Amino acid sequence: MSTVDQRLRRIAAHAAAGDALGDDGPWLADVLQKIFNGTKFEAASGLDPGWWRAHLCARREAKLFTLANDICPDGNFPEQEAALRAALYRYRDGRWKAVDKQRRGMMPASYAGKSDALLFSILHESSLIAGEGELSLPLSTTNLRKVLSR
């Protein structure tokens, strides 16, 4: 996680709690002044242009790992790979296309604590990563081997 990402997370936590920003206050003031002067957020904060995509990819990979271990906890790589692919394709071709895609990231409360929550998040984040109206799941054997070897 980058220093900027860590700062933004601390700022968000402080702001949510109504706390002072501490050492992050002057940094945020400088970033905001640059933005007000026309600098894009990434340049003003020192983040790489694709930072948000890398962040979403890392979150999605962690969820893929969790889902694979939830649906096939004692499986070896080929078993987990097959179970993960089957679950994702079944969800994508069923409920995602029929209903959940139109929810625009608003996950139903009934999904909480279930594999449904992971499936929804993985597909939603995949659609954000791919861009408007697209969906790209990282389901090649190479990608899944990287995800599942954590």
| Tokens coding 80 | 């987990």
Q: Which residues contact 42 (CB under 8 A, 6 or more apart)?
A: 48, 49, 51
- In three-state form (DSSP H/G/I as H, E/B as E, the rest C), the secondary structure along 11-35 is HHHHHHHCCCCCCHHHHHHHHHHHH
Nearest CA-CA partner of 92 in 130, 55, 146, 52? 130
Domain ranges within the chain, ordered by starting residue:
3-45, 51-148
In this predicted structure, the answer to whether residue 42 has a pLDDT above a threshold of 80 is yes
pLDDT in tens, 104-140: 889 999 999 999 999 999 999 998 888 766 777 888 8
Helix (H) or strand (E) holding 45: helix 41-45
In this predicted structure, the answer to whether residue 7 has a pLDDT above a threshold of 60 is yes
pLDDT for 122 equals: 94
